[in-house]
């Protein structure tokens, strides 16, 4: 047998790189697992030294749970507070350099804005008793806490529990300043969390002296004044440097509720509040009873300002609108002739307050807002809330509240533009749009139904079917924006039933397009801006937005025909007026959080909202109840002693059922205090004649008188 020779080659196997990589991964994973196990064992052995048993273990378990949930809570609160910090990015330190005096539509002065914000006095120049009075009442531990006073909060909670009511507040001056600068008066947990974080931010970015100075300069003090220096000038006619202890106590008492304790409105209440401030000075150890006894015996007296009340919500909004057009004007000391009608303003305020006072507890509703426009676009009244002194947040121009069924006219208007008519038949049966199946308020469904009946009875399924099968949401959003609505309108399918938030001002602006027969761009809060010499710097007729058509005349007439039926035999019967035909729409949102009535006549358009600041549901309040009743009450006043105009497209003859509905609405208000009769105003023809005479006088050449001979000889 022959052995293999050396020349015979053996077969070699080539190792793949992937096998090497696989081996490296396996070894690395094994090594990592081994080291982790070793580390875990060492850690376990180390922590066994801290192992406790018995009652000590219970303590550590509780502390551990507290730390865990505390961390979770801190992260949650920080998440909620982050949006508030965006406000600090603005230049909030600056003050407006505008000094604006506002006149009503007849030329009467109604208030000022801007100049009263700048009447500041350095804190080092303020009398000692002024500072002590403020600190004793608002924040005794101001110099001892870091924005949040937990001891003061505990004391306030204890006193409130004892009294079974809110008798003391736990907010520090820093927290109140944070609210005034960055937030609103909404009573919610979210707002309180933001307020707390912003207070800490202020404490870390400002000195105590700067915080106190800013608080004294920016707080609302009643009477249209902001800041303690402006309030001193307004109430006492003197500089805050010269006020005595009794006057200082009265000023310090205004911070809590300036409208309630304003001395020019309720002097006895202001003096009683000042006496509480003097007691706080003694209890806080800042003064002795002997030092304050003179102020108790000789309370402050104020300058007689009459009982005229400033339309502050209107002035705040008008001031913002003025600044938009006056930034580039040569002077910022201005006189503005507004469109405000003080009679309608007072009637709207009275109507809202009356219905809140009479029915607020029954329906669990605490706030209302109103905007009234004359159909030429002039804003005649704004009610931004129940009490400006308690809350300067303007619910009429800034609050976004779901519109509910009061949004449906925008959907129907888009359908009218597509060629439909009030008599067009549409199925009122159940409808599904994807996984959304809206229901009617009555939980019942109908067969074929005309659009008038669907709108008047506020059937939900019909506008949904219109948007789904005939329109889509895009043209509805576009038309709403064209109407002048500035609120963000969602294009989601649920927007058809009014899920988007809208302001009361936007609702009045939108419905005003129906009242004008399809013309938009009419809304304006003032007609002229003048300098102090009386020179006209801006005029609405020349410089304002030009009115333009956004809805065809046919579509507008069809909408008015349908909307005029709502107060006659629909959901808004309580809004019917005894002297003229009205049109409009009610609105009620999910869980009864918002109730609306938005309507118009041939003369005026008005939007009314009822609800709660904290978005809690009302007690089954619908738009056809308090909003419609409130609308009817002040509109009844607004239409006295004027030339009644017809709504475009409808017969002005008042149907019999209108009178019956109006009588029913008035019967609800039998116990109401009758509103003052509106003073008679000039008729349209008379006003036109006077204007023509004025223009003729301006254009007439100057009359040159002859010089008498006696005068010549004398010369």
DSSP string, 38-58: HHHHHHHHHHGGG---THHHH
| Lowest mean pLDDT, pick from 41-50, 296-305, 483-492 | 41-50
647 in any annotated domain:
yes
Q: Kindly state the tokens that stand for 617.
A: 């549901």
Q: What's the CA gap between 698 and 693, in Å, rounded?
A: 9
Q: Are residues 358 and 248 in the same domain?
A: no
Helix 55-85 / helix 189-205 crossing angle, nearest 10 deg: 80
Q: Are residues 300 and 399 in the same domain?
A: no
pLDDT above 70 (res 150): yes
The domain spanning residue 200 has which CATH number?
1.10.3810.10
Mean pLDDT of 355-381: 97
Q: Are residues 227 and 352 in the same domain?
A: no
The domain spanning residue 458 has which CATH number?
3.40.710.10
Q: What's the CA gap between 67 and 77, in Å, rounded?
A: 15
> Where a domain ends, among 263, 284, 308?
308
Q: What's the CA gap between 347 and 349, in Å, rounded?
A: 6
480 in any annotated domain:
yes
78 in any annotated domain:
no
- Pick the residue with more confidence: 689 or 680? 689
141 in any annotated domain:
yes
> CA 144 → CA 139, 141, 150, distances in Å?
10, 5, 11
Q: What's the CA gap between 415 and 451, in Å, rounded?
A: 10
Q: Are residues 302 and 191 in the same domain?
A: yes
675 in any annotated domain:
yes
Q: What's the CA gap between 279 and 285, in Å, rounded?
A: 10
64 in any annotated domain:
no
Mean pLDDT of 295-319: 85
Q: Are residues 655 and 517 in the same domain?
A: yes
| Lowest mean pLDDT, pick from 222-236, 317-331, 594-608 | 222-236
Q: Are residues 436 and 567 in the same domain?
A: yes
Between the ranges 190-194, 626-630, 683-687, where is the mean pLDDT highest? 626-630
Report helix, strand or coil for 126.
coil
Mean pLDDT of 272-301: 92
Q: Are residues 375 and 283 in the same domain?
A: no
Q: Are residues 628 and 497 in the same domain?
A: yes
Q: What is the pLDDT of residues 604-642, one digit of tens each?
A: 999 999 999 999 999 999 999 999 999 999 999 999 999
Q: Are 231 and 251 in contact (CB under 8 A)?
A: yes
Between the ranges 63-77, 115-129, 568-582, where is the mean pLDDT highest? 568-582
Report helix, strand or coil for 353.
helix
DSSP string covering 143-174: TTSSS--HHHHHHHHHHHHHHTS--S----HH
The pLDDT value given to residue 156: 58
Taking the CA atoms of residue 513, residue 514, residue 517 and residue 522 in that order, the dihedral angle to the nearest 10 degrees is: -20
> CA 606 → CA 303, 510, 517, distances in Å?
37, 10, 16
The pLDDT-based confidence of 670 (bands split at 50, 70, 90) is: very low
Between the ranges 73-82, 99-108, 159-168, 339-348, where is the mean pLDDT highest? 339-348
The total domain count for the chain is 2
Residue 292: give the domain boundaries.
127-308
> Where a domain ends, among 308, 334, 353?
308
109 in any annotated domain:
no
The pLDDT value given to residue 620: 94
Q: Are residues 257 and 356 in the same domain?
A: no
For 644, half-sphere exposure in the C-beta direction (CA atoms, 13 angstrom radius) is 19
| Lowest mean pLDDT, pick from 46-50, 422-426, 438-442, 644-648 | 46-50
636 Cβ contact list (under 8 Å, min separation 6): 577, 578, 579, 675
Q: Are residues 301 and 411 in the same domain?
A: no
The pLDDT-based confidence of 661 (bands split at 50, 70, 90) is: very low
Q: Are residues 353 and 304 in the same domain?
A: no
Q: Are residues 359 and 437 in the same domain?
A: yes
Selection from 480, 418, 425, 464 nearest residue 447 by Cα: 425
> Where a domain ends, among 260, 284, 308?
308
Helix residue spans in 387-494 (DSSP H): 408-417, 451-456, 461-465, 474-482
696 in any annotated domain:
no
| Lowest mean pLDDT, pick from 366-370, 371-375, 473-477, 693-697 | 693-697
Report helix, strand or coil for 575.
helix
pLDDT above 70 (res 70): yes
The pLDDT value given to residue 711: 41
The pLDDT value given to residue 574: 96
Longest dimension (CA), the chain: 171
Query: What mean pLDDT, rounded, does the chain reach?
Result: 85
| Lowest mean pLDDT, pick from 116-120, 202-206, 542-546, 662-666 | 662-666
């Amino acid at each position: 047998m022959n052995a293999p020779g050396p020349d015979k080659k053996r077969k070699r196997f080539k190792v793949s790189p992937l096998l090497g990589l696989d081996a490296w991964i396996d070894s690395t994973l094994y090594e990592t697992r081994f080291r982790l196990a070793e580390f875990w064992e060492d850690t376990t052995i180390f922590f066994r030294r801290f192992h406790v048993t018995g009652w000590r273990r219970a303590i550590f378990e509780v502390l551990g749970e507290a730390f865990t949930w505390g961390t979770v809570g801190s992260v949650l609160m920080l998440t909620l507070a982050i949006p508030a910090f965006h406000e600090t990015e603005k230049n909030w330190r600056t003050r407006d350099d505008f000094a604006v005096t506002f006149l009503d539509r007849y030329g009467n002065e109604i208030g000022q804005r801007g100049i009263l914000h700048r009447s500041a006095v350095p804190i080092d120049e303020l009398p000692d008793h002024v500072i002590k009075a403020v600190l004793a009442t608002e924040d005794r531990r101001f110099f001892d806490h870091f924005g949040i006073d937990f001891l003061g909060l505990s004391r306030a909670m204890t006193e409130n529990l004892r009294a079974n009511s809110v008798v003391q507040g736990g907010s520090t001056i820093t927290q109140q300043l944070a609210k005034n600068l960055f937030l609103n008066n909404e009573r919610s947990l979210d707002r309180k969390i933001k307020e707390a974080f912003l207070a800490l931010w202020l404490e870390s970015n400002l000195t105590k002296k700067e915080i106190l100075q800013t608080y004294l300069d920016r707080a609302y003090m009643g009477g249209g004044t902001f800041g303690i220096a402006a309030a001193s000038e307004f109430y006492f006619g003197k500089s805050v440097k010269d006020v005595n202890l009794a006057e200082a106590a009265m000023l310090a008492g205004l911070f809590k509720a300036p409208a309630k304790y304003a001395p020019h409105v309720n002097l006895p209440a202001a003096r009683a509040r000042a006496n509480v401030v003097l007691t706080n000075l003694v209890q806080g150890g800042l003064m002795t009873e002997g030092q304050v006894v003179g102020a108790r015996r000789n309370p402050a007296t104020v300058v007689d300002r009459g009982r005229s009340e400033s339309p502050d919500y209107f002035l705040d909004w008008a001031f913002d609108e003025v600044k938009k057009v006056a930034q580039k004007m040569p002077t910022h000391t201005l006189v503005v002739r507004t469109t405000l009608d003080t009679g309608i303003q007072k009637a709207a305020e009275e109507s809202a307050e009356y219905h809140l006072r009479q029915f607020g507890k029954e329906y669990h509703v605490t706030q209302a807002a109103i905007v009234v426009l004359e159909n030429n676009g002039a804003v005649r009244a704004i009610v931004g809330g129940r009490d400006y002194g308690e809350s300067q947040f303007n619910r009429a121009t800034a609050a976004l509240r779901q519109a509910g069924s009061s949004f449906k006219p925008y959907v129907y208007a888009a359908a009218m533009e597509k060629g439909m008519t009030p008599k067009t038949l549409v199925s009122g049966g159940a409808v599904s749009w994807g996984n959304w199946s809206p229901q009617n308020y009555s939980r019942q469904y109908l067969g074929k139904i005309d659009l008038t009946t669907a709108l008047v009875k506020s059937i939900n399924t019909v506008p949904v079917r219109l948007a789904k099968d005939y329109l889509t949401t895009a043209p509805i959003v576009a038309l709403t924006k064209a109407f002048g609505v500035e609120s963000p309108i969602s294009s989601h399918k649920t927007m058809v039933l009014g899920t988007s938030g809208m302001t009361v001002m936007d609702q009045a602006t939108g419905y005003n397009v129906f009242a004008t027969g399809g013309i938009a761009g009419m809304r304006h809060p003032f007609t002229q801006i003048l300098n102090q010499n009386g020179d006209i710097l801006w005029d609405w007729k020349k410089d304002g937005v030009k009115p333009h058509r956004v809805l065809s005349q046919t579509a507008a007439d069809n909408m008015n025909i349908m909307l005029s039926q709502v107060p006659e035999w629909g959901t808004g019967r309580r809004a019917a007026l005894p002297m003229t035909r009205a049109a409009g729409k009610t609105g009620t949102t999910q869980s009864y959080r918002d109730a609306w009535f938005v309507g118009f006549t041939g003369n005026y358009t008005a939007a009314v909202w009822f609800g709660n600041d904290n978005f809690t549901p009302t007690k089954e309040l619908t738009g056809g109840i308090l909003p419609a009743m409130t609308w009817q009450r002040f509109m009844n006043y607004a239409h006295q002693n004027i030339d009644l105009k017809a709504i475009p497209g409808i017969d002005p003859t008042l149907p019999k059922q209108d009178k019956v509905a109006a009588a029913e609405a008035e019967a609800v208000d039998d116990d109401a205090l009758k509103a003052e009769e509106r003073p008679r105003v000039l008729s349209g023809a008379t006003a036109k004649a006077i204007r023509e005479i004025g223009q003729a006088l301006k254009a007439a050449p100057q009359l040159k008188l002859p010089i008498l001979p006696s005068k010549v000889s004398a010369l």
